[in-house]
Amino acid sequence: MSCGGDWRMLVGIDIGGTFTDVVVLTEDGNWRVHKVLSTPPDFERGVEEALRQLRLPSGFIVVHGSTVATNAVLERKGAKVALITTKGFRDVLEIGRQTRPRLYALCTERPDPIVPRERRFTVKERVGADGSVLMPLGDKEAEQVTRQAQRSGADAVAICLLFGFANPVHEKRLARKARRFRWFVSVAHEVLPEFREYERTVATVLNAYVGPRMNRYLQRLQRVVRKRGGSQLWVTQSSGGSAAPSFVRRFPIHTLYSGPAAGVIGALFVARQVGFERVLTFDMGGTSTDVALCLGEPTVTTEGEIGGLPLRLPSIAVRSIGAGGGSIAWLDEGGALRVGPQSAGARPGPACYGFGGDQPTVTDANLLLGRLDPERFWGGRLRLREDLAVRVVGQLAEGMGVSVREAAEGIVAVANANMVRALLSVSAERGYDPRDFALLSFGGAGGLHACLLAELLGIQTVLLPPFAGALSALGAVVMDTVRDFSQTVAVPLDDEGLEKARQVAQRLTERGERELAQMSFSETQRLIRIALDLRYRGQGYELTVPVQGWEVAEIRDTFEALHQQRFGHTYPDAPIDIVTVRVRSIGVRPKPSLPRLPKRRRIAPVAMRRVWVGDGQAEAPVWARGQLCASAVLTGPCLLVDDHATAYLPPSWRGQVHETGCVIVRKEEG
Is the CB of residue 534 less than 8 Å from the CB of residue 545?
yes
- What average pLDDT does range 104-125 have in this prediction? 88
Q: Check pLDDT > 90 for residue 17.
A: no
The residue among 379 and 385 whose pLDDT is bigger is: 385
Is the CB of residue 646 less than 8 Å from the CB of residue 583?
no
Q: Check pLDDT > 80 for residue 100.
A: no
pTM exceeding the 0.85 threshold for the entire prediction:
yes
In Å, how far are 113, 301, 320, 361, 406 from 349, measured between CA atoms?
33, 34, 20, 9, 22
- What average pLDDT does range 42-48 have in this prediction? 91
Q: Check pLDDT > 70 for residue 346.
A: no
Closest CA to 662 of 645, 210, 355, 343: 645
Looking at residue 290, its amino acid is: D
Structural domains of the chain in order of their starting residue, each with its CATH number: 10-73+214-258 (3.30.420.40), 77-205 (3.40.50), 481-587 (3.30.1490), 607-667 (no CATH)
Average pLDDT, the chain: 92
The residue among 220 and 288 whose pLDDT is bigger is: 220
Q: Check pLDDT > 90 for residue 285.
A: no
Q: Check pLDDT > 90 for residue 29.
A: no
End-to-end CA distance of the chain, in Å?
Answer: 58
Q: Check pLDDT > 90 for residue 460.
A: yes
- What average pLDDT does range 285-309 have in this prediction? 89
Confidence (pLDDT) at 669: 77
Is the CB of residue 65 less than 8 Å from the CB of residue 15?
yes
* Percent of the chain with pLDDT strictly greater than 90: 77
Is the CB of residue 13 less than 8 Å from the CB of residue 53?
no
Q: Check pLDDT > 90 for residue 19.
A: no
Q: Check pLDDT > 90 for residue 320.
A: no
Distance between CA atoms of residues 667 and 553, nearest Å: 44
Looking at residue 156, its amino acid is: A
Cis status of the peptide bond prior to 592, with omega within 30 of 0: no
Confidence (pLDDT) at 670: 60
Is the CB of residue 430 less than 8 Å from the CB of residue 455?
no
Closest CA to 158 of 75, 92, 244: 92
- What average pLDDT does range 575-584 have in this prediction? 98
| Those residues with Cβ within 8 angstroms of residue 266's Cβ, 6 or more apart along the chain or in another chain | 442, 467, 471, 472, 473, 474, 475, 476, 478
In this prediction, residue 503 has a pLDDT band, given cuts at 50, 70 and 90, of very high
Confidence (pLDDT) at 6: 45
Confidence (pLDDT) at 1: 45
Q: Check pLDDT > 80 for residue 344.
A: yes
DSSP state of 206: H
